[in-house]
Amino acid sequence: MLNVKNEVLIRVYSVAAVVLVVAVVILTRLFQLTVTDAHKWEAKADSLYVKLVDVPSQRGNILADDGSLLATSLPFFDIHFDAKAEGLTPEIFNDQAVDSLAWLLSTYVDQQYTPGAYRQWLDTLRNADPRTRGIRYVPIAKNLPYSKYLLIKTFPIFREGRHAGGFIAEQISRRERPFKILAQRTIGYAQREGALPVGIEGSFNTILDGKRDDLPKQLMLRVPGDVYIPINDLAEIEPASGDDVVTTLDINIQDAAETALLNACQTHNADHGCAIVMEVKTGKIRAMANIGRAQSEGKAGYWETYNYAVGERVEPGSMFKLATFMALLEAGELDDFDELVPVFGGKVKIYDEELVDAEPHGMDSMTIRQIFAMSSNVGTATLTQKYFKSRPGAFVQQLRDFNLDMPTGIEIGGEENPIVKNPEDPKSEWSGTTLPWMSIGYEMLYTPLQMLTFYNAVANDGRMMKPYLVQRTEHYGEVIKEFRPYTIRRSIASKNTLRKAKELLTEVVKTGTARNIRTDNFDIAGKTGTAQLNYHKFRASKGIRHQAGFCGFFPAENPVYSCIVVISEPERGGYHGSEVAAPVFRQIADKCFAMKAELHRPVNADAPKPLKYSQLPSYDAGSKTDMKESLRWLGLDFEPASDLADWGVVIAKDSLGLTMQNRVVGDKSIPSVVGMGLKDAIYLLENRGCRVRVEGVGKVRRQSLAPGTRASGQTCVLFLE
């Protein structure tokens, strides 16, 4: 019995001990949960219903050189309604307030719904089951401008705010371009579905977006339906601001370039084209226009859909001949531009390939000057073969010395390296026809910007500048970082080569293929280019596509701007560079000349020249005081009569001087008003009672009433010239 009793007690004690241990563990765990780790579990519980999100920063602006807005972010608002807001009491949500709100929503938000329909909808939202999805986050209006947001915020019920009125306003930013499509592709975009960032927006995205580590936070509450709504009014939170980017673009030049390019593409029904204007001394891109045939918003037309200026590599054609002739000059092979070179009537066969001049001329020989000015393919290839056939590597090395094997390094993406064949590289597929075809701009690839950078270096006396589009970043007007002009190479060629290269480029416009764009206002230096895009695919005219180009700078004697125009696949009105691209260059240059004072020669640059006898004022009459003041202001010496009256007449004695004599004016007779301005003539005649009739403009050259006639109210006709 004792053993059984002990065994039972042991079992009871064991169970009690287990229960005690479990109780201690439970109590300990409860203490940890309710006291020690309370904050941890409270935060975790909150995380299921509340979360912090970043308030998007205010994206910085993109500005033109003069401060004009090229791209900016404007605030827009999405309005929602929380019908189950904690503070939205029946006293606030009363019949009168709901009726007024319904009428205002019908009038100012969406007029397709009547006030009655809005009233019924609001009542339904208020009385519906709170578990219904979206009941606490009902959209009222989207993409409202700031003025409309301020109006809706004053509506009954909504004016009570987020907690008492259920009014939820979310601010969103929308990127706007005040100048619309102007420089659209150059400005680019950073966020577009299915597309990589491009242009300035893409390359400077981090700077424009602002610093990401100090963004303000916004509490969001999870409500039934797995929807998060803002606890506070997002519009009241000051977002971080990105930096502004100030470009080198000149709005007026950009507009001139785009307008001229678009008109040319439409006139010639071209596939696409581009134009770039660069400041010679600094490398600043003043305009970069890209036009291509495309569909936009359901309409066919021309748009900026691709940056051809930076990203399209093509065979440059005859524009490359400048590099070829400079290579010959650097090698010391061209001494006399008047030396005759055989051109074989404009057609020659090199191995199994036939090379012809673009324009038939029938000449057996040309001077070196004529070969360049008239863009003779045969003459250029003949010269290159003569001096570099046995050493093609020397020709390629000259191109490397001109930096023509390197990209420009412009800060926006999309640029690819130029392709230049190398006779020492088996992968280059060098053949016997490669050198002559390279000399005229084939079997190599360059972008328009790369070709312009080379021409700009020639205009800049050999100093090659890196082209750039952004000159500084700012934050509320304070300069954060400045980008200065950068020299890629101090000199690409000797001074003699550069001087002669400019001479050849000027000759193209004076007497050569671009003589159609010559102007008396300023000198232009440049080179036309007509490239056959599918030269190696088609030998006959069928299927041939062309690219027209012109690259140069102005004014030729003291270059301020360099410019390239490239238009691809023109289908009507010609396809040569002189017909299609050069006129666009001229239009851009004319606009620059009209707008920019630095392109004009100062009027006092030269010493004043003595006036010819025919240029001196003679028989100009008027008030003595006015005449004296005018002559003195003009710096013209005159010899006054000893007894000058109130009226006088200036007479040129000879080419050396003037004399002022009296003009007799009687009180009662018709005076002579010949030589006077209209104001003085009318004054004298009407003071004597005459009526005056005028014909013509200018000064009085003849009058109908003879001087000395007695004045008696008659009409005097004045003939002005």
Q: What is the pLDDT of residue 133?
A: 44
Give the 3-state secondary structure of 155-223.
CCCHHHHHHHHCEEEEEEEEEECCCCCCCHHHHCECCECCECCEHHHHHCHHHHHCCCCCCCEEEEEEE
What SS3 class is residue 41?
Answer: helix
- Residue 428 DSSP code: G
Give the tens place of pLDDT for each residue, 441-450.
999 999 999 9
In angstroms, how far apart are the furthest CA atoms of the chain?
Answer: 172
User: Which of residues 59 and 472 earns the better pLDDT score?
Assistant: 472
Q: What is the pLDDT of residue 315?
A: 93
pLDDT bracket for residue 471 (50, 70, 90): very high
Please, what is the end-to-end C-alpha distance for the chain in angstroms? 154
Q: What is the pLDDT of residue 608?
A: 67
With 90 as the cut, is the pLDDT of residue 493 above it? yes
Answer left, alpha or beta for residue 448, where phi above 0 means left and psi between -120 and 50 means alpha: alpha
Residue 68 structure tokens: 């004009």
- Mean pLDDT calculated for residue range 506-524: 95
With 90 as the cut, is the pLDDT of residue 325 above it? yes
Q: Which sign does the torsion angle of CA 355, 358, 363, 365 carry?
A: negative
* The CATH number of domain 259-599, selected from 3.40.710.10, 3.20.20.300, 1.10.10.10, 3.40.50.720: 3.40.710.10
pTM: 0.74
Give the tens place of pLDDT for each residue, 367-419.
999 999 999 999 999 999 999 999 999 999 999 999 999 999 999 988 999 99
pLDDT bracket for residue 197 (50, 70, 90): confident
Q: What is the pLDDT of residue 80?
A: 87
Give the tens place of pLDDT for each residue, 653-710.
555 567 777 787 888 888 888 888 888 889 888 888 899 999 988 888 899 988 888 8
Report the range of poorest mean pLDDT among 18-27, 201-210, 429-438.
Answer: 18-27
pLDDT bracket for residue 439 (50, 70, 90): very high
With 80 as the cut, is the pLDDT of residue 1 above it? no
Rg value, the chain, Cα = 41
- Mean pLDDT calculated for residue range 221-243: 61
The amino acid occupying position 660 is M
Residue 682 structure tokens: 């009318």
Give the tens place of pLDDT for each residue, 549-566.
999 999 999 999 999 999
Q: What is the pLDDT of residue 514?
A: 95
Q: What is the pLDDT of residue 597?
A: 80
- Mean pLDDT calculated for residue range 579-596: 94
Give the tens place of pLDDT for each residue, 608-638.
666 665 666 666 787 878 877 877 887 777 7
With 80 as the cut, is the pLDDT of residue 478 above it? yes
With 80 as the cut, is the pLDDT of residue 195 above it? no
**In angstroms, how far is CA 658 from the centroid of its own chain?**
55
Residues of the chain above pLDDT 90, percent:
42
Q: What is the pLDDT of residue 676?
A: 87
**In angstroms, how far is CA 191 from the centroid of its own chain?**
20
Size of the chain, expressed as the number of residues it contains:
721
Distances (CA, A) of 117 to 47, 80, 103, 121, 168: 38, 18, 10, 6, 22
Residue 497 structure tokens: 């080569």
How far is 444 from 438, CA to CA, in rounded Å? 7
Q: What is the pLDDT of residue 43?
A: 56
What SS3 class is residue 237?
Answer: coil
Q: What is the pLDDT of residue 640?
A: 73
Give the tens place of pLDDT for each residue, 261-311.
999 999 999 999 999 999 999 999 999 999 998 866 566 788 888 999 999
Q: What is the pLDDT of residue 600?
A: 79
Query: What value, to the nearest 5°, has the Cα angle with vertex 175 and ends 170 and 181?
Result: 155
Average pLDDT, the chain: 85
* Cβ count near 166 (within 10 Å): 27
- Mean pLDDT calculated for residue range 240-250: 89
Residues of the chain above pLDDT 70, percent:
83
pLDDT winner (highest mean) among 161-175, 216-230, 287-301, 396-410:
396-410
With 50 as the cut, is the pLDDT of residue 539 above it? no
Report the range of poorest mean pLDDT among 26-35, 72-81, 571-580.
Answer: 26-35
Q: What is the pLDDT of residue 134?
A: 45
Asked whether the beta carbons of 418 and 378 are under 8 A apart, the reply is: no
Q: 260-291 b/e with 16+ CB inside 10 Å = b?
A: bbbebbeebebbbbbbbbbbbbbbbbbbbbbb
Architecture of domain 613-720: 2-Layer Sandwich (3.30)
Give the tens place of pLDDT for each residue, 41-84.
555 555 555 666 665 667 889 999 999 999 888 888 888 888 87
Q: Which of 327, 550, 589, 370 is nearest to 451 (CA)?
A: 550
Q: What is the pLDDT of residue 314?
A: 92
How far is 265 from 528, CA to CA, in rounded Å? 17
- Residue 36 DSSP code: I
Q: What is the pLDDT of residue 541?
A: 47
Query: What value, to the nearest 5°, has the Cα angle with vertex 714 and ends 713 and 717?
Result: 130
Residue 607 structure tokens: 């010493």
Q: What are phi and psi of 62, to 5 degrees?
A: -110, 125
Distances (CA, A) of 118 to 99, 109, 110, 139, 274: 9, 11, 10, 13, 54
Q: Which of 411, 448, 443, 446 is nearest to 272 (CA)?
A: 448
